[in-house]
Structure 1
Amino acid sequence: MSETTATQLPQIHPIPEGLAERAALLGGPEGTLTDEQIRGFVAEQLATADLDGKSVCLILPDGTRNVPLPKVLPAIHEALAGRAASVTVLIALGTHAAMSPGAIDVLLGATERGAAATYPGWTVVNHAWDDPAQIADLGEISAARIAELTGGLLTDVPMRVQINRLVVESDVNLVVGPVFPHEVVGFSGGNKYFFPGCSVHDVIDISHWVGALITASRIIGTLGITPVRQLIDAASDLISSEKLCFTMDVAAGGAELGAIAFGDPQAAWAAMARISAQTHITYVERPYRRIVALVPEMYDDIWTGAKGFYKSEPVCADGGEVVIYAPHITEVAAMHPGLRDIGYHNIEYFTKQWDRFKDHPWGELAHSTHVTGLGTYDPETGEEKQRVRRSFATSIPQEVCEAYNVPYVDPASLDIEALRNDPETLVIDHAGEVLFRLAEERQSL
């Protein structure tokens, strides 16, 4: 690992001139789109796409992304019917747990008849990130190139680029997904659905660790081409098949769309990131001593529900507390048991003991820091200090929380309505969708 420290922020490049304009765009930061507008836009864009006789891999987010896919998918199904030779729907899990058939039906808006009857001719599969037979190897990005892309954060680590075989073997990849502020890449969407959405540990670990070195507090909601965005764009360049993308801005509540864009993944992402920066960042005038993040049930563990922390931590006062309130959550991360071995700590805790932790999966190290925030660690004394306290008010037992180095709060002890009336407390409903920032950090668009 480079000697670069987490306090040194590599350059964030502005979105290149004309990139967003390459995408077709409908809607904006104000208002919502009608179903008729969405259907017409999808039909118009796909009508001129080179899809006849082609095998199509339709890449979708999993159930941890709040997006009304049923507003878009029927129009895509109609546009591809009789044209595409085959359509395989690939759910971009990253390393999340596979979705059940019932959960997939809910995601696709197919609960009445099931996915097969609602979208005849489509085959729906989960990304099999843990099955080597389903993974294709696209080669390696050299350590020197990684150093260049990350601004020197990593100098001696090459990156093996591997991805779901369906992405490589299909003639056309069509990504459909929302754009939100993101703790690793700045803003999600676009090529991120390939890496890490359809990839495996090497790209996931390296990209997430680079984001952790910059720190989630600094990178989340940063509009521009971040080092991690450069990494995933470079990896995506190795995919030889055609790449198309619908990006969406999800209106508050998750049931409506405010905008939709279409083009290549980079252009469609750029067009929507500019809008998301206006709709999914809430600026407040002052920090709060206590934040209670009410995490919705779509997040069923801390691995996914942690968004409630890192999307609110930027507006927590020094020495304050962020409470992840999610009585429905019963476990930390079933798919990542290695977290129990390291617990939750700040970035210095790992970088200043690198020989101890360097062989642990970097994606888990990154997640640990995301749920801790900024802080310091003194290797001479072993003292770790956090900028803010973060607590779990969940159904995870107290002794388990303590084993992860996290304070426990009994959910029943919190009077949410009373806390709403406390001027020093910010209660966030549906935490995890909107990023909170201080007004002094407002970006120019």
Structure 2
Amino acid sequence: MDGRVCKLLTEEEIKNLIHQNLKKEDYAGKRILVIIPDHTRSGPTGLFFKTISEELSLIAKKLDFIIALGTHPPLKEEKINKLLGISAKERRTKYKNIELFNHCWDDPSNLQTIGKITHSDMKRISGGLMNEEIPVQINKRVFEYDRIIISGPVFPHEVVGFSGGYKYLFPGIAGPEIIHRFHWLGALITNIKINGVKNTPVREVVNKSASFIKIPIKMLCYVIKEGRVHGLYIGGKESWSRAADLSEKLNIEYKKRKFHTVLAVAPPMYEDLWTAGKCMYKLEPVVEDGGRLIIYAPHIKEVSFTHGKYLFQIGYHTRDYFLKQMDKFRDIPGGILAHSTHVKGIGTYVNNREVPRINVILATGIPKQKCKEINLDYMDPFKINVEDYANREDEGILLVRKAGEVLYRRR
């Protein structure tokens, strides 16, 4: 399907496209696993779940879904039902033969090694930034199926360049080593240089990892703007590429200037700073040197449900802070270091003095003392009137009412 910048797709059009492209002869009698995003990604996940189920459940030998959590916490049944737009009763009746799985990234019994990225490959792909062998592990459940379908949105992304496609495999349902190493590679390149770029070294690592999977894969890659589907591309790897091209047009907003103050309102789908960090990733390029970015999220009370222990151990720092002291942080997983540097932003570390380019401030439910412990500044969210920041771009103040998915750049 050719996505058009101004063409909204109706539910009926989406259903028809799926019907036309999931051909019965390809799936009849097959065991099918569908990989879908969790609740931290916008889009009509429920519509795609229901439509795929209607198309394939009666002809497939087995049809199941797995949530590509990466290292996010597993979803309880109530949250899964909400994600899929179904009731508990529907799950027990209409969808009773469909199993719904959470990915467990940190349980070795759930993982299978399928290959390795060699020293020479990593050195070549990374341009010399990394030179190590990386085992590639994936949820072994995929090998119980004859076909894989990946269904999810494509947005600009701080680590890979654009999300979606094979990224739902790696890190979506991957093991810890490949997750941590390629996230660290993204951090070495920096968010500023990688976010919103289609062909990146990290994407090459993801594609290389996916090449070890010999099960046929079909992608349903869609592009979202303001909660609506503007393009749906179905097929192989080229489907992701075309979706990324459309996302570049729809999900990158250009500004005439940089701003000394940015108030980034984190939507409720971000439940901890680990996910709300996307507010910083998407807005870092339009904050001027010495400026401040405020992550406004009174509902967030946790730094990270999964990785909080590590983050309180190391705090939030620039890339160079870690690079010049790597012996001190060698035992910290690369994905944790990457998140830390992405939230803090680029900066320098010279003569034991760290100077971030901008100041990141938390206006969340995380107390002031805890913010201090993790090396981030604090503002009381209940003393902030969001409207005080509205319509002041000429003064150097930018308000983003739903931050985290649209990338902002200076024109």
What TM-score results when the alignment is normalised by the length of structure 2? Answer: 0.97
User: Partner residue of 1:54?
Assistant: 30
- Aligned counterpart for 1:231 among listed residues 181, 196, 205: 205
Residue from 330, 337, 341 that aligns with 1:369:
341
Contact 2:233 2:239 in 1 (8 A): yes
Show the counterpart of 2:407.
435
State the identity %: 39
Question: Does the 8 A contact of 1:372 with 1:386 survive in 2?
Answer: yes
- Return the alpha-carbon distance in structure 2 between the equivalents of residues 162 and 333 of structure 1: 24
Runs of 4+ aligned structure 1 residues displaced above 4 Å come to none
Query: Structure 1 CA distance, aligned partners of 2:144 and 2:24?
Result: 22
1:9-408 equivalences in 2 (<5 Å): 25-47=1-23, 50-111=26-87, 113-155=89-131, 157-222=132-197, 224-252=198-226, 254=227, 256-264=228-236, 266-336=237-307, 337-378=309-350, 381-408=351-378
Which runs of 5 or more structure 2 residues have no equivalent in the other structure? none
Are the structure 2 counterparts of residues 118 and 219 from structure 1 closer, same or farther at C-alpha, using a change threshold of 3 Å? farther
Report the Cα distance in structure 2 between the residues aligned to 1:27 and 1:73, rounded to whole angstroms.
21
Per-residue deviation at 1:35? 1.1
CA contact (8 A) 1:179 1:276 kept: yes
CA distance in 2, matches of 1:116, 1:183: 38
Residue 430 of structure 1, CA deviation: 1.1
- Structure 1 pair 189/357, CA: closer, same or farther in 2 (3 Å)? same
* CA distance in 1 between partners of 2:212 and 2:297 (Å): 40
Distance 2:74 2:25 in 1: 31
**What is the TM-score of this pair, normalised by structure 1?**
0.90
Task: Report if the CA contact (8 A) 1:29-1:276 is conserved.
Answer: no
1:26 CA drift (Å)? 4.4
Deviation sequence 1:135-181 (CA, Å, 0-9, x none): 111122211111112221112x1111000011233111100000000
8 Å Cα contact 2:218/2:235 also seen in 1: yes
Return the letter of the residue paired with 1:164: N
Corresponding residue to 1:418 among 384, 388, 391: 388
- For the Cα contact (< 8 Å) 1:32–1:251, is it kept in 2? no
CA contact (8 A) 1:47 1:79 kept: no
Q: How far did 1:118 drift?
A: 4.4
Matched residue SS, 1:39: helix
Greater helix fraction, Structure 1 or Structure 2:
2
Give CA deviations for 1:175-201 in whole Å, capped at 9, x if unaligned: 000000000000000000000000021
Higher mean displacement: 139-148 or 98-107 = 139-148
* Offset, 1:52: 1.6
- Provide the C-alpha distance between the structure 2 equivalents of 1:418 and 1:312, rounded to a whole number of angstroms: 19
Query: Structure 2: which amino acid aligns with 1:147?
Result: K
Residues 105 and 114 of structure 1 are in contact (CA less than 8 Å); yes or no, is this contact kept in structure 2?
Answer: no
Cα deviation 1:306-357 (Å, max 9, x = unaligned): 1111101110011000000000000100200211111000000011111111
Q: What amino acid maps onto 1:429 in structure 2?
A: R
Q: CA RMSD in A?
A: 1.3
How many angstroms apart in 2 are the aligned matches of 1:180 and 1:302?
A: 19
Contact residue 27 and residue 260 of structure 1 kept, 8 A: yes
Moved more, 110-119 or 402-411: 110-119
Q: Would you say the 8 A contact 1:374–1:387 is kept in 2?
A: yes
Q: Distance in 2 between matches of 1:431 and 1:219?
A: 18
Aligned residue-pair number: 408
The Cα offsets for residues 48-107 of structure 1, whole Å up to 9 and x where unpaired, read as 561121111110001111111222222211211222111121000000000111111111
